[in-house]
Amino acid sequence: MTQSLHDNHFPNETREYREARNELLLSERELRRQIERVAAQRRALPLGGAAKDDYVFDEVVAGNLRQVKLSELFGAHNTLGIYSFMYSPRDGARPCPMCTSMLDGLDGQVKHITQNTALAIVARAPIDRVMAFARERGWRDLRLVSSLNNTFNSDYFGETANGDQITMFNVFTRRDGKVFHTWSSELRLLPADPGQDGRHIDSIWPLWNVLDMTPEGRGANWRPKLEY
């Protein structure tokens, strides 16, 4: 039998399988290294621009409406990630199923993530609708705020000029009391890459990573839904 790159063999595996798996294993190892190289490049970025405004968001805490500033979303941390959730303020609009799928998974990781960095989910929909949907989904730990009364979404590419909502993940840092933009998932702003889906947040979306490990993959046209 063809020598494996490690000392383990699975029951009844064929020579053909092991040869192909060895080749894939080398690619997977290189992919892991590339992910680490890109992460190091990301960490090494110089500071981006100062935040355009200390935006004021609506938030509900213990059933009470309050306003919270961008600078206050950091809490005890010096880094803040903000995900723009595609939930339009237009009457009758429902949230984006794709965003919802990602947030279903992220809700379970919030307690871990916030040991190291602050995290908030911002939507343009009124906060009462956002919170009602969170209850519908069973979200427990996501920090949800509304940008209905500020320009955060349009300023940081979470909204088009005609008011359509766009998904975007932005990261900010706080230095000497000032807030700076450091990174965003702006892959989605690039021109179309032939043969490629325009996805830009797969690394925080377990759904696709799991499906990529299966023979069927993601499916050519399948997308998550709000209900099945």
Q: Does residue 203 lie in a domain region?
A: no
What pLDDT does residue 58 have? 98
Range in 6-20, 115-129, 150-164, 189-203 with the lowest mean pLDDT: 189-203
The CB-based long-range contact list for 8-16 (8 Å cut-off, 24+ gap) reads none
Say what the pTM is.
Answer: 0.92
CA–CA dist 108, 118 (Å, integer): 15
Report whether pLDDT(131) > 80: yes
Report whether pLDDT(212) > 80: yes
Q: How many Å separate Cα 87 from the centre of its chain?
A: 15
Q: Does residue 132 lie in a domain region?
A: yes
Residue 190: pLDDT band (50, 70, 90) is confident
What pLDDT does residue 203 have? 87
Radius of gyration in angstroms for the set of CA atoms belonging to the chain, rounded to a whole number: 21
CA–CA dist 77, 163 (Å, integer): 32
pLDDT tens digits along 76-109: 999 999 999 999 999 899 999 999 999 999 999 9
Mean pLDDT of the chain: 94
- What's the whole-number mean pLDDT along residues 120-124? 98
Q: Which residue has the tokens 């960490």?
A: 43
Q: For the chain, what is the domain count?
A: 1
Strands 56-61 and 118-123: unpaired
Name the burial class of residue 146, with classes exposed (0-12), middle (13-18) and buried (19+) by CB atoms within 10 angstroms of its CB: buried
- What's the whole-number mean pLDDT along residues 177-199? 89
Report whether pLDDT(2) > 60: no
Q: Does residue 27 lie in a domain region?
A: no
Residue 1: pLDDT band (50, 70, 90) is very low
| Domain containing residue 109: CATH number | 3.40.30.10
Domain residue limits at 148: 56-186
Q: Does residue 105 lie in a domain region?
A: yes
Q: Which residue has the tokens 């894939």?
A: 24
Q: Does residue 211 lie in a domain region?
A: no
Report whether pLDDT(220) > 90: no
- What's the whole-number mean pLDDT along residues 14-38? 95
Q: Which residue has the tokens 């043969």?
A: 195
CA–CA dist 60, 210 (Å, integer): 34
Q: Does residue 129 lie in a domain region?
A: yes
Q: Does residue 65 lie in a domain region?
A: yes
Q: Does residue 41 lie in a domain region?
A: no
Half-sphere exposure of 115 (CA within 13 A, CB side): 3
CA–CA dist 215, 203 (Å, integer): 20
